[in-house]
Structure 1
Amino acid sequence: MNGKILVIEDDVEIANIIQSHLTRENYSVNWSSTGKEGLEDFKKDKYDLIILDIMLPEIDGFTVCKNIRLVSNVPILILSAKKQEVDKVKGLKLGADDYITKPFSLMELEARVENNIKRYKGYNKKTDDNSIWTYKNGLTIIKDEMKVLIDDKEIELTSKEFSLLVVLAQNEHKVFTKKELYENVWNQDNLEGNNTITVHVKGLRQKLKDNVKNPKYIQTVWGTGYKFIGEKMP
């Protein structure tokens, strides 16, 4: 198998054409028809490349791109009918690796898919950015297994608490607003009040034994949100 690809595209005909062609070229291809479904499917599996439309139901492609890039360096290839330069620039600034406009050539798409996946796999081999993150003060996050340990003892987190921790830890010292955390962890952009994030952060801190007044991991940025301040072990 040459790689695993997630196609996030609401046009059934286009999605079927892409899926059929890339499957013949020995790629494993999954398809999501909405932005929300795409984010959910992305979190369930490991992919080597995302093919992403911009004009999607529920959550638009720009937001999907931004949310994926916060937690992963997987290549994102935008495939869109939006041909304006401003849209291309916006997509690339949000973290997309490539941009193809519709209508498109399957041969060109295949070539870009192949090149992006080769770069991604080569980059991952050269880096130490694996799925196990170890910090001072006893915290270990095993991302692929969805496990968190304190002083080598596993602690039980809910799926939302784990996702919240990963988003913060993977972007250490970046300040997230409550709205941004809600969009990333709940895959929704309609934050109903601030209590949801507050409650989950409080529960996460309790399980990590993280004192809000003297935090080791999650620091409150008053009036804005939260950031991860854990110090990684060399």
Structure 2
Amino acid sequence: MDDRILLVDDEQGLLVMVETLLRKEGYQRITTATTAGKALRLAQTMSFELIVLDVMLPDRNGFELCQQLRQLTKVPILFVSARSGDLDKVMGLGFGGDDYITKPFNPLELVARVKAQLRRHHLYSQASTSKTELLQYGRLSLNKGAAQLLVDGIEVACPAKEFELLTYLCEHPNQVFTALQLYDQVWGTALMGDEKTVVIHISRLRRRIEMDPSDPRIIVNIRGIGYKFIPPKKDVDPDV
């Protein structure tokens, strides 16, 4: 496997264990860092397909590092942390993470999540070169090839997983999906899915595309079921 993976954790023993585990699965291009500073320097000089990131680092909070990494790359970021509270998960995803797994973890689950993130990353990259690269719905425009979101003609920054989620919804307008169905399609496995992950990403998307995120008209809740993307009409305010 040719994927390059960056592992960031200040526990040397854990780094060795995870690196050994992933190498046994065929991932040979693995780089490690025990500090946020080194991780940032590596991300500035090398390209990666996946970053596995601890929250508690000696020189910087992992959430802060995630924000900085997001300015350099859109690749999946998987948090691995001993902080298991819901608030920590919400913060991790809110700062740009794509998934969150807590310590101690089942090694097989970590491998499965890494594979799922990489699989979805590659599928999305391949889809970006497909025939239909531009999705346009009124005030929204998604350029899949350039991973670019425009709202009212203005480019809006959109991390990879949010963009992938929005693209999936745009490609299936007026269809209702449960949170687990969306997790399965965008993150790659519903069996380990956390509905909060989807909820947080939907909330962040609404802040980017809705006229009033507190009263969404584009990505709407279908009570007791899930979410539906209602395409805004051309030249029509979705709040009208």
Q: Into which bin does the TM-score normalised by the smaller protein fall?
A: 0.5 to 0.7
- Specify whether residues 2 and 89 from structure 1 end up closer, same or farther in structure 2 by C-alpha distance, changes over 3 A only: same
Deviations 1:142-174 (A, max 9, x none): xxxxxxxxxxxxxxxxxxxxxxxxxxxxx9677
5 Å-filtered alignment, 1:210-225, equals none
Q: C-alpha separation between the residues in 2 aligned to 1:85 and 1:97?
A: 15
| 2:109 counterpart residue number | 108
Structure 1 residues 79 and 173: alpha-carbon distance in aligned structure 2, compared to 1, 3 A threshold: closer
* Residue equivalent to 1:140: none
Where structure 2 has 5 or more consecutive residues not aligned to the other structure, the ranges are 130-153, 158-240
Q: Does 1:5 align with 2:5?
A: yes
Deviation string, structure 1 residues 4-55 (Cα, Å, up to 9, x no partner): 1100000000000000110111112110000111111112211111000000
TM-score (norm 1): 0.54
State how far apart, in whole Å, the 2-side matches of 1:112 and 1:53 are: 15
Mapped partners of 2:9, 2:34: distance in 1: 5
CA RMSD of aligned residues (A): 1.7
TM (norm. structure 2) is 0.52
SS of 1:71's equivalent?
A: coil
Of all paired residues, the percent bearing the same amino acid is: 36
For 2:16, the aligned partner's letter is: N
Q: Distance in 2 between matches of 1:9 and 1:113?
A: 16
* Equivalent residues, number: 132
- Which residue in 1 is equivalent to 2:90? 89
Question: Gapped runs of 5+ residues in structure 1?
Answer: 129-170, 175-234
Q: Distance in 2 between matches of 1:96 and 1:85?
A: 14
Residue 71 of structure 1 deviates from its aligned partner by: 2.9
> Which position in structure 2 is the counterpart of 1:21?
21
